[in-house]
Amino acid sequence: MKKSSVLFFFLVVILFSCNKETKKLSNIPSIDFSSITDSIVQGSEDTILIHFGFADGDADLGMNSDSADLYLKSSWDSTWQDYYFPTDIPNNLKDPSKGLQGAATLKLLAALFVLDSQHPNGDTVNFEFYIKDQAGHTSNHILTTSVFIKP
């Protein structure tokens, strides 16, 4: 997959609680899989949308555009592709004393998924991904459910 062809965006929904008794988040980031697009038509303007939640206790995600934050590979390829959290998350939301948590969506263009001659009637693909914060802490790995690529 070409990085320049893949659009990555986040919808960060901050879930801070005013309750002082809120449990402190771990400085090791964590992610949880929410959902993924069921199917797409190859070469079309369709997109694969991977929705997931994230949490990081020291709130150091998306702070530096020089290092990747999210790593993804498909079941069609063993190469890890790197992506970036947005660097424009407001500083008042990146409070290490409260942590950072929210929801995000990774958007992959259908045009990047081309069926080969062994699968003329379609094929499935799934993804494994994880995040890494600026301190170098690596989250758990998540495996998505499958997406069917239609011819």
Residue 127 to residue 109: CA distance in whole angstroms: 14
* Portion of the chain with pLDDT greater than 90, in percent: 50
* Portion of the chain with pLDDT greater than 70, in percent: 85
Question: Which residues neighbour 48 within 8 Å (Cβ) at sequence distance 6 or greater?
Answer: 36, 37, 40, 107, 108, 109, 110, 113, 147
β strands within the chain, DSSP E: 8-9, 30-36, 39-41, 47-56, 70-74, 81-83, 100-109, 123-125, 127-131, 142-143, 147-150
Q: What is the pLDDT of residue 68?
A: 85
Regarding predicted confidence, which is higher, 71 or 15?
71
What is the pTM assigned to this prediction? 0.81
Q: What is the pLDDT of residue 13?
A: 42
Closest CA to 37 of 127, 115, 119, 121: 127
114-127 pLDDT, tens per residue? Answer: 898 999 999 999 99
Q: What is the pLDDT of residue 93?
A: 74
Residue 56 bridge partners (DSSP): 100
- Provide the pLDDT confidence category of residue 111 given band limits of 50, 70 and 90: confident
The answer to whether 43 and 122 are in contact (CB under 8 A) is no
Residue 54 to residue 103: CA distance in whole angstroms: 6
Residue 124 bridge partners (DSSP): 148
Average pLDDT of the chain, as a whole number: 82
Domain 3-16+25-150 CATH class label: mainly beta
Domain ranges across the chain:
3-16+25-150
